[in-house]
Amino acid sequence: MTAKPAYSPKLAVAMLFLFTMTVALMPVVYNGCSGAKGGSVGLRGKYYRNAKWEGAPVDVQVDQTIDFDWSKSPPYPAPFSADWTGNVLIEQPGNYQFALISDDGSLVEIDGRVVVDATTVLLQKQTGAIELPSGPHSIHVKYFNTLFGGSVRLFWTPPARPEQIVPAEVLRPASN
């Protein structure tokens, strides 16, 4: 009588193949789901290798929020700048307060109107308010860094709600 092996070599090879494919594809699936370079929420960011948003951008990606601390590892050597565009979706009409904290400078426009200008103040919160009806509104955030490090954070205070980073769920990237 011949002893039957406890395992099948073909089954073992098939399982090893499936395991290897699963591990190899995990980063691809994760990046596709996380929207790292082109998601459906956030703002379209164009990054430049100068502090004046000039020339062709060196990178274009969708950033889910504007909440960056580049003090230890900036995305590019200084000087650099970023220009985010898209829409902010307003569910409840009312008075919205926006705020920026940045190193070196930043600016936020809603529907083409400057709401916060923090281009001359370092690391101090600058605020501005705007009355917004419900619906989508264009938003444009500009940031520049002339020296080392860098940081930029965009906050909002919706009517009767606490201040928070503008959440990704209400941001939609520009299509161009």
Specify if 74 maps to a domain.
yes
Cα–Cα distance list, 46 to 14, 53, 84, 120 (Å): 45, 9, 6, 22
Q: What is the pLDDT of residue 126?
A: 95
Specify if 136 maps to a domain.
yes
72 lies in the same domain as 137: yes
Domain span holding position 145: 43-173
165 φ, ψ to 5°?
-60, 140
pLDDT digits (tens, 9 = 90+) for 88-110: 999 999 999 999 999 889 999 99
Token output for 175: 């299509």
53 lies in the same domain as 101: yes
Q: What is the pLDDT of residue 109?
A: 98
Specify if 1 maps to a domain.
no
Number of domains in the chain: 2
Give the number of other Cβ atoms within 10 Å of residue 16's Cβ: 10
20 lies in the same domain as 95: no
83 lies in the same domain as 58: yes
CATH number at residue 123: 3.90.182.10
pLDDT digits (tens, 9 = 90+) for 111-141: 999 999 999 877 789 999 999 999 999 999 9
Lowest mean pLDDT segment, chosen from 3-7, 35-39, 95-99, 106-110:
35-39
**89-101 b/e (C-beta count within 10 Å ≥ 16 → b):** ebeeeeebbbbbb
29 lies in the same domain as 51: no
| Nearest CA-CA partner of 143 in 87, 77, 68 | 68
93 φ, ψ to 5°?
-65, 150
Contact assessment for residue 114 and residue 97, using Cβ atoms and an 8 Å cutoff: no
30 lies in the same domain as 115: no
